[in-house]
A = this chain, B = another copy of it.
């Protein structure tokens, strides 16, 4: 069943066929029940462990902090993303690749829409959770930026472009994701995200240099310019690519 496998994924570990739901899951379930019915800050860790029927000490064994119980799957997702980026083929177009990496996060959210929507409502209200979410998102962004920095190494403004593109990708992804969450997680999230990421790709994607097949890869640069963008902008791009003449 979908909800069961989604819960298992939330767990970050396979569910054993032999019942006995692991303590981690019980804690997440208990926590969310209390969070939605009486609020995050009004719920103490003691309340959670009492409802889950476990010792207080065990809570912090599974979750380093109270906030972590709200994001039980991000650690796993972040690892997936770094793996995905590390496994990139050499010839992959970098911007497209980070956009695909961002889609991994979307997939995680889409796997359990009701859970994601609940969490969204929580994080929107509680400042502490918002701050925590920011630090999570920041780690995704750094993973994307690290990959791009590697791909842009040697290029002038390589790290700058990497940071900016990573931020743009994350912002576009989050814009679409939040719009989907605000709608209650009903429609298709991926089309909206595709559109948003498309905008970023059109702004940063093909325009900067692709090396031609025949030539020595270092001494030729190909610029694709749209006729409707002003000439000075094309020249600016050229300067950036060529490293100031």
CB contact between A202 and one of B166, B167, B168, B237 (< 8 Å): that residue = B237
A233 is an interface residue with CB less than 8 A from chain B: yes
List of B residues within 8 angstroms of A200 by Cβ = 164
CB contact between A222 and one of B167, B219, B223, B237 (< 8 Å): that residue = B223
CA distance in complex: A202, B221 (Å) = 15
Over the window 121-155 of chain A, the binary record of Cβ atoms lying under 8 Å from chain B Cβ atoms (1 yes, 0 no) is: 00000000011101100100000000000000000
| A 221-245 contacts with B by CB, 8 A | 221-240, 242, 244-245
Q: For chain A, give the interface size range.
A: 35 or more
Determine the main DSSP class of A at the interface with B. helix
Residues of A within 8 A of B (CB): 130-132, 134-135, 138, 157, 159-161, 163-164, 166-168, 170-172, 174-176, 195-196, 198-200, 202-207, 209-212, 215, 218-240, 242, 244-245
Q: A135-B131, A238-B234 are in contact. Are A228 and B202 (CB under 8 A)?
A: no
Contact A212 B234 (CB under 8 A): no
Q: A210-B228, A231-B242, A238-B234 are in contact. Are A163 and B174 (CB under 8 A)?
A: yes
A selection of 28 A-B contacts at a CB cut-off of 8 Å is A130-B135, A131-B131, A131-B134, A131-B135, A157-B195, A157-B199, A160-B172, A160-B176, A160-B199, A164-B171, A168-B171, A198-B212, A198-B236, A202-B237, A202-B240, A207-B228, A207-B229, A207-B233, A218-B227, A220-B225, A220-B226, A221-B224, A221-B225, A221-B226, A225-B238, A230-B245, A231-B238, A238-B238
